[in-house]
């Protein structure tokens, strides 16, 4: 059998080793705000592209959006994962007013930024 060479470093994984990968001291939330500042709702022609860009800029998963869209601990008060997937893929029709409120809450954006797409 051929031998497989090990290309993995055997350096100890301490604090100094982990710091070589972090090029910035800024917290992730601040970095996300900077990315989000570059996203203008007027740059997008469709709602699903805008929502996907906002989610990715905030380093959120679709499950994060589901949880953030809930007004209380009840899953029924938010937007479901399949609905978010359909909306971001563009196959969902025009959402109702309650869904738009929940989407705005889930993505952390003002409701007015969504109304542009459904006027």
Residues 6+ apart with CB under 8 A from 111: 100, 101, 104
**What gap in Å lies between CA 30 and CA 35, rounded to an integer?**
9
Residue 64's nearest CA partner among 51, 47, 49, 50 is 51
For residue 77, the model assigns a pLDDT of: 86
Extract the tokens encoding 64.
């994060």
Residues 6+ apart with CB under 8 A from 53: 39, 44
- Please give the residue range of the domain that contains residue 102: 25-118
Residue 18 lies in a domain: no
Over the chain (119 residues), the average pLDDT of each successive run of 10 is 47 46 56 67 87 90 94 84 94 89 92 85
Residue 14 lies in a domain: no
For residue 78, the model assigns a pLDDT of: 92
Q: Which CATH number does the domain housing residue 62 bear?
A: 1.10.260
For residue 8, the model assigns a pLDDT of: 44
Kindly report the number of other CB atoms within 10 A of residue 5's CB atom: 5
């Amino acid at each position: 059998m051929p031998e497989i060479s090990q290309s993995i470093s055997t350096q100890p994984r301490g604090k100094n080793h982990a710091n070589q990968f972090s090029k910035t001291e800024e917290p992730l939330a601040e970095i996300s705000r900077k990315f989000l500042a570059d996203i203008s709702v007027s740059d997008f022609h469709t709602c699903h592209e805008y929502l996907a860009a906002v989610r990715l800029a905030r380093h959120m998963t679709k499950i994060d959006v589901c949880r953030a869209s809930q007004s209380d601990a009840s899953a029924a008060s938010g937007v479901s994962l399949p609905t978010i997937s359909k909306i971001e893929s563009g196959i969902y029709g025009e959402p109702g007013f309650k869904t738009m409120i929940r989407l705005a809450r889930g993505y952390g954006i003002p409701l007015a930024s969504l109304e542009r797409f459904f006027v």
